[in-house]
Amino acid sequence: MEKFSIETDRLVIRPLALGDYDAWYQGFDSRKVSQHAFDDGQLDMSICDLDWFQNLVAHHQELWEKDDTYIFAVFDKTGQHIGMLNIATLVRTNMQWGELGYFIHNQHWRKGFAYEALSALVEASWKELGFHHLEAQISPKNNASQQLAEKLGFVYECRRSKFAFEDGQWVDKDIYSKNLHDQPSN
């Protein structure tokens, strides 16, 4: 699958490149303290030197080439790093099924960036990546992500009990999904 970029009114969404190190680092280094349980807040960036970043970019490239995970950086039009998006391939064969994930640096919350970026990526997932079904796996307590999924047109499917291993324990996930054939003009 060939790499591609997406532009919206305010954002550029594309795979990380080696020249993105300074903006990427600044995005993480400028994070505010944690705002709630679903926010990592400030991170220790001491290991994230240029060599580490080059390995990260190479790893993202490998995942892309294997059709494993498509990872996108989100920048505003000034080049400021806003966050990251990804689509992980769950099943290709006769399903074309992927999992949508994202984070926006907390200093950029409440500005509509997540909705703008994910709307564009969902559209590209059908056209550029060939997915038919996307799902988001969301903590039952993460109301903001549930509301965002619904705003994006995802529909609540179910709760998967003890579905994901996080922070040393198995946790439940609410599943929200969206299908290509449910979209207008498809």
CATH topology of domain 6-182: Aminopeptidase (3.40.630)
Contact 71, 86 (CB under 8 A): yes
In the chain, what are the domain boundaries? 6-182
Residue 42 scores a pLDDT above 80: no
Q: pLDDT per residue over 129-163, tens digit each?
A: 899 999 999 999 999 999 999 999 999 999 999 99
pLDDT digits (tens, 9 = 90+) for 78-87: 999 999 999 9
Please choose, from the candidates 135, 133, 147, the residue with its C-alpha nearest in 3D space to the C-alpha of residue 186: 133
